[in-house]
Structure 1
Amino acid sequence: MRVKSFLPEGPGALIRSLPGKSLVFLSALWFISIQGAQATEPPLRNLLEDFKGGNPQSQALARQRLPSLGLRVVPDMLQLLSGKDEKLSKAACDIILQLINDVSAPGREKDRKKLADQLVPLIAPDRSEKDKVAGLRLLERLVPPGYDVAPIAGLLADNNLREKARTALQRINTGEARNALRSAVASADPLFQVALLNSLGEMKDAEGLEIIIRLAVVGTPEVQAAAIRALSWTGDPSYLALARSVRQNATGESRFDSFDATLRLLEAMTARGGNWEAVVREYGELLKTSSGPSWQAVISALGQIGDERHVDLILGSLDPGDPQGFHIGLHALSQLRGAAATHRMVSLFPQAATPTKIALLPILAAKNDESTLPHLVAAARSADPAFRKAGLEGLGVSGQPSAIPVLEEFARSGNDEEKKLALRGLLTVGQACSAHGVRNEASRAMNTLYQLAQDDSQRREALKGMASNPSPESLDSILAAAQVESLRDVVFPALQALAGTLVAAGQGDKAMVVYKKILEITPGAQDLAAAAAGLQKLDPSLNVAEMVGFVTQWWVVGPFPLGEDKSGWDQALIGEPNVDLAATYPSGDKQAAWKRVQGSADIGKVDLLKEVADCQACLCYAYTEIEVSEEADAVLCLGVDDGEKVWFNSSLVLDNFTQGALVLDRDKIPVHLKKGINTLLLKVYQNAMPWEFCVRILSPEGVPVSFTQKKP
């Protein structure tokens, strides 16, 4: 197998490079491998027999294996292709097509030419029309550049096959194919001249331009139109005059063809660039003489490349009685770019017919130009319901800040349909103002939307908008939203953004209200930390931690070694769960005593590296007492770096030996608070890096529990 794998890459060179004995051995091995391969490959004769008459399974296998035998199967396939059995003929054609695909791969140019030589006889003069059609179908996929296409070109004179021959040459599209089509033009009848010119145009035949230009001058009207179409791919503005002349000479069906050819030339000129004025001018001329589909094509093109000079033409030609043309004209107006085109539409709007005005309102609105607002406002306040609806919708689409007061008016006092449209418009305008950095107007739109919203989906969008564009004026709306449970996930960002804005505006008292509201509705840890930090900046004397249920007064003692196999974790190093705050305990070569500490003012965090020791693989204890006036169920919420054991009222309620950073409220333990004093003891493990913890006490509903602690 190894010999077989490298022989195709150059067996002769490889063999010649080997010493004599190796050469003999390798030659023998090569012979054996070839014989083995031949022994496993069914002979061509057997495969052909199966292919022609075997059972379906054998026939299918033969169909799969025959192409692998290469070009030596072609003679037999050609015989079957020409036979009377249509099923076999088709199957043989499919195999040849597969061979064509194989030899068309790079590096197989010789095989490609050889296969073409084998197929050309199919189109010989003495072959049947069926064979010729099949041959053209195969050759158009195969003929390589530089190949003689004369046999195919010869069929251009056959009235029954000339269209198939032309199509084949067009698909071959080599220099030889283009020359064959070009040479046939002069002697062809006008009908076939049109077809030949279409092919030369599709093939972008630069060498045939002189012939094509001559036919545009001397050909029949149909030929002249086809010649302009064949020239159109060039995008050459020098052909415009010739195209104009052909249109003037056109008769009957050639009028549409000549018009279409000019449009193609103009499209190519547009794509080529540099001739905008000439293109626009010619479109204007075409518009004067066009109608129906031709007019629609010109209008569409002007919408793409026109300017304010074409507004009058397009607007003046709109006919509501022609729905398709009316729609195309409106679309063209919507496509016109530039403020000048918009201003021209605005100036012509009053003279338009009523149906046209209603249809123009959304187009004007979408221009996002303030000059359109007077028409939109006037329409919204019209007595005509259709105008009012179009005007209100347009005000929203406009995205203009000036639309907000009118939308607010209808959102408050309009009928049900108008309120819906106005609220939707406020959302759209608010989002547009936000996107363009017009923050105050965006906030106003979103604030009004919240106040007048008809459902929670609108309120949620309004809160998102107020979070992105916080303003002191939205204070009441956001505080009201904070009371709605279903809006909590979107109200937190709005509250935080508003608090920052109030601080920046020098309204610290209002910012304090907002921060306290954040704490009151028990946010997640991240929101809690942000609110606590904000409150601390406003009033450093505040103990925010106690406001939201954090335990801040502690006694700590340590450090103690973790020991091998964390033996210290399960040892009662201080006699736990009992606690004697007056006792001392061995800690290395010292005695460790209880130390009174206070947690941070934001989240009650105790830094054990600072308060106990800077150590690794060590332990310490933390103890506190809390007093409540009534018994109640509660939840201990702990954040610890790294692991902890917890005793509540002397009962072990958590054993969590782990490693990891402090995460607020990571561990939650249901407990029952008894009336009076309750005790809490922690055993805290330190691996490395930070060593800290914080604890807060919440009700099962997540509300901070009211409790007291003795101050140090």
Structure 2
Amino acid sequence: MTERHVVSWIAAVLIFAGPLQATADEIDDQLQTIATCGPGGQGSAAAKQAALELVDSGIEILPRLLEAMDTDNILAANWYRTIYEQVTRRELKKTSPQFPLQSLRDFVQDAQHQGRSRRLVLGLLDRLDPKFRDRFIATQIADAEFRNDAITTLLKQGDEFQEAGKTDSAARVYETAFRAARESGLIQTTAAKLKAIGREVSIIDHMGLVIDWHVLGPFDAPGKSGFDTVFPPEETVDLQASYAGQNGRKISWKRFRTTDKMGSVNLVTAIAPVEEAVGYAYTEILSPCEQDVQLRCGADDNLSVWVNGEKVFARRQWLNGTRLDRFTAPVHLKSGQNTVLVKICQGPQHKNPAVGNNWSMQLRFCDKDGASVGTHSALPEISEKNVE
């Protein structure tokens, strides 16, 4: 049963069931009863009874109900949301609804609460206090849940300044939006608006994308064997060394700096168009301090990543496709120099000959919100014969 069906079923139960009274002293116990329900019907009868009584209690349960909605229990969350909808709908039908407006505002403004519940309450406030949304959203560029809404509002403000010929004011607003942006679409949109008025910003630096690499390959890896096969770079990275590659071809490390605005490395260009092969990318980065960060990466077909010699990520997945931030892993960076080795496997030709064999990777280091952690390239030099 889908979540939508569960919610509909709960709503039907509450609408057609007879009223049951719950005293104020029982509210917390009833909320806790719902909190213990689980898969396979566990606690469902007791949860139904508690929900019926809570619905009949009235608007006074709202503050405690909202607190209970901060749960990872999907079944309990469905019960709570349906109770919320029934209670608020009934109150709105009254001639003089009595909602705890300040409690609702406080709930929406508290980033510790779940985003889904905060948006639900904001929708209610749109009816009760129509001016609240604009005042609230305009201040939320640091709030993970409402950041994109705030940035969209800033962009509209910047556009108005630009249309009025106030270029400096537009630039200040766009720059504020750019610094706050974490979602790739908004980052690119904001950067484009700044570029249009002569202000250049670096998407690469803002997102912590790694674009400078030494690449090596292809090694032969028939039958999707590359993921499990240990090739020389996994034992020692020697940027001056040469190896026997696919079809007996001599291969060596060569420098490659991607020009893709989102940091994607096209390995067909950087190494070669191949099938059933393995390539490596190596770099070194400087971290401004010792810090715990997120590695976010993706590749076509699959990849493994070592940071400072420790394997921090590996995913065996073929016909994968490179997508921004597809995978995330926690990584500890040392203050100063850190080494990064990436292994990227390429599978056989797609069963449809018309589909090209893409081979690519994308990698960045950021904080939990997706912002740069201040790393930058410290790519070591190799002999000129290997540089391309």
Q: TM-score, normalised by structure 1?
A: 0.31
Partner of 2:332: 672
**Distance change >3 Å, CA 598–CA 516, structure 1 → 2:** farther
Please report how far the alpha carbon of residue 492 of structure 1 lies from its aligned counterpart in structure 2 after TM superposition: 3.2
* 1:710 has 2:378 as partner: yes
Give, in whole Å, the separation in 1 of the partners of 2:221 and 2:153: 46
1:638-680 residue CA offsets vs partner (Å, 9 max, x unmatched): 1323311111111111111222322211111101111221111
Provide the alpha-carbon RMSD of the alignment. Answer: 3.4
Partner of 1:698: 366
Please report how far the alpha carbon of residue 606 of structure 1 lies from its aligned counterpart in structure 2 after TM superposition: 1.6
* 1:591 has 2:264 as partner: no
Secondary structure of 2:131's counterpart equals helix
Q: 1:517 aligns with which of 166, 173, 176?
A: 176
Please report how far the alpha carbon of residue 572 of structure 1 lies from its aligned counterpart in structure 2 after TM superposition: 2.2
Q: 2:239 aligns with which of 559, 581, 584?
A: 581
Give, in whole Å, the separation in 2 of the partners of 1:541 and 1:647: 33
**Distance change >3 Å, CA 457–CA 616, structure 1 → 2:** farther
Give, in whole Å, the separation in 2 of the partners of 1:501 and 1:631: 43
Give, in whole Å, the separation in 1 of the partners of 2:268 and 2:158: 34
Give, in whole Å, the separation in 1 of the partners of 2:195 and 2:271: 26
- The 8 Å contact of residues 204 and 263 in structure 2, kept in 1 or not, is answered as yes
* 1:629 has 2:288 as partner: yes
- The 8 Å contact of residues 522 and 702 in structure 1, kept in 2 or not, is answered as no
Question: Greater helix percent: which structure?
Answer: 1
Secondary structure of 2:232's counterpart equals coil
Partner of 1:663: 323
* 1:653 has 2:312 as partner: yes
Partner of 2:225: 567
- The 8 Å contact of residues 297 and 328 in structure 2, kept in 1 or not, is answered as yes
Partner of 1:684: 344
After TM superposition, the runs of 4+ consecutive aligned structure 1 residues lying more than 6 A away are none
Please report how far the alpha carbon of residue 497 of structure 1 lies from its aligned counterpart in structure 2 after TM superposition: 4.1
- Give 2:322's aligned amino acid: L
Q: How many residues align?
A: 246
Give, in whole Å, the separation in 2 of the partners of 1:505 and 1:612: 50
> What pairs with 1:300-699 in structure 2 (closer than 5 Å)?
458-460=131-133, 462=134, 480-483=139-142, 487-499=146-158, 509-538=168-197, 542-564=201-223, 566-587=224-245, 588-600=247-259, 602-658=261-317, 659-687=319-347, 688-699=356-367
Give, in whole Å, the separation in 2 of the partners of 1:538 and 1:561: 49
Please report how far the alpha carbon of residue 633 of structure 1 lies from its aligned counterpart in structure 2 after TM superposition: 0.7
Please report how far the alpha carbon of residue 494 of structure 1 lies from its aligned counterpart in structure 2 after TM superposition: 2.5
1:327-354 residue CA offsets vs partner (Å, 9 max, x unmatched): xxxxxxxxxxxxxxxxxxxxxxxxxxxx
**Distance change >3 Å, CA 652–CA 486, structure 1 → 2:** closer
**Distance change >3 Å, CA 593–CA 514, structure 1 → 2:** farther
Please report how far the alpha carbon of residue 557 of structure 1 lies from its aligned counterpart in structure 2 after TM superposition: 1.3
- The 8 Å contact of residues 624 and 679 in structure 1, kept in 2 or not, is answered as yes
Q: Which runs of 5+ in 1 are unaligned?
A: 1-419, 421-452, 464-476
Could you tell me the percent identity over the aligned residues? 29
Partner of 2:42: none
**Distance change >3 Å, CA 563–CA 703, structure 1 → 2:** same
- The 8 Å contact of residues 283 and 378 in structure 2, kept in 1 or not, is answered as no
- The 8 Å contact of residues 577 and 650 in structure 1, kept in 2 or not, is answered as no
**Distance change >3 Å, CA 496–CA 482, structure 1 → 2:** same
**Distance change >3 Å, CA 484–CA 536, structure 1 → 2:** same
**Distance change >3 Å, CA 485–CA 694, structure 1 → 2:** closer
Give, in whole Å, the separation in 2 of the partners of 1:574 and 1:541: 41
**Distance change >3 Å, CA 516–CA 667, structure 1 → 2:** farther
**Distance change >3 Å, CA 492–CA 540, structure 1 → 2:** closer
Q: Which runs of 5+ in 2 are unaligned?
A: 1-100, 102-125, 348-355, 382-388
Give, in whole Å, the separation in 1 of the partners of 2:257 and 2:220: 24
- The 8 Å contact of residues 646 and 682 in structure 1, kept in 2 or not, is answered as yes
Give, in whole Å, the separation in 1 of the partners of 2:216 and 2:244: 11
Partner of 2:85: none
Secondary structure of 1:705's counterpart equals coil
Secondary structure of 2:269's counterpart equals helix
Larger radius of gyration: 1
Give, in whole Å, the separation in 1 of the partners of 2:145 and 2:324: 24
**Distance change >3 Å, CA 497–CA 614, structure 1 → 2:** farther
Please report how far the alpha carbon of residue 704 of structure 1 lies from its aligned counterpart in structure 2 after TM superposition: 1.5
**Distance change >3 Å, CA 490–CA 701, structure 1 → 2:** closer
Give, in whole Å, the separation in 1 of the partners of 2:359 and 2:129: 44
> What pairs with 1:122-161 in structure 2 (closer than 5 Å)?
none
Please report how far the alpha carbon of residue 689 of structure 1 lies from its aligned counterpart in structure 2 after TM superposition: 3.7
Give, in whole Å, the separation in 2 of the partners of 1:684 and 1:573: 12
**Distance change >3 Å, CA 690–CA 568, structure 1 → 2:** closer
1:189-222 residue CA offsets vs partner (Å, 9 max, x unmatched): xxxxxxxxxxxxxxxxxxxxxxxxxxxxxxxxxx
Secondary structure of 2:225's counterpart equals helix
Secondary structure of 2:175's counterpart equals helix
**Distance change >3 Å, CA 693–CA 509, structure 1 → 2:** farther
- The 8 Å contact of residues 305 and 340 in structure 2, kept in 1 or not, is answered as yes
> What pairs with 1:198-237 in structure 2 (closer than 5 Å)?
none
- The 8 Å contact of residues 641 and 686 in structure 1, kept in 2 or not, is answered as yes
- The 8 Å contact of residues 533 and 602 in structure 1, kept in 2 or not, is answered as no
- The 8 Å contact of residues 551 and 599 in structure 1, kept in 2 or not, is answered as no
Secondary structure of 2:152's counterpart equals helix
- Give 1:664's aligned amino acid: L
- The 8 Å contact of residues 545 and 600 in structure 1, kept in 2 or not, is answered as no
Question: Greater strand percent: which structure?
Answer: 2
The more displaced of 492-501 and 549-558 is 492-501
- The 8 Å contact of residues 627 and 677 in structure 1, kept in 2 or not, is answered as yes
Please report how far the alpha carbon of residue 591 of structure 1 lies from its aligned counterpart in structure 2 after TM superposition: 1.5
Q: TM-score, normalised by structure 2?
A: 0.55
- Give 1:704's aligned amino acid: S
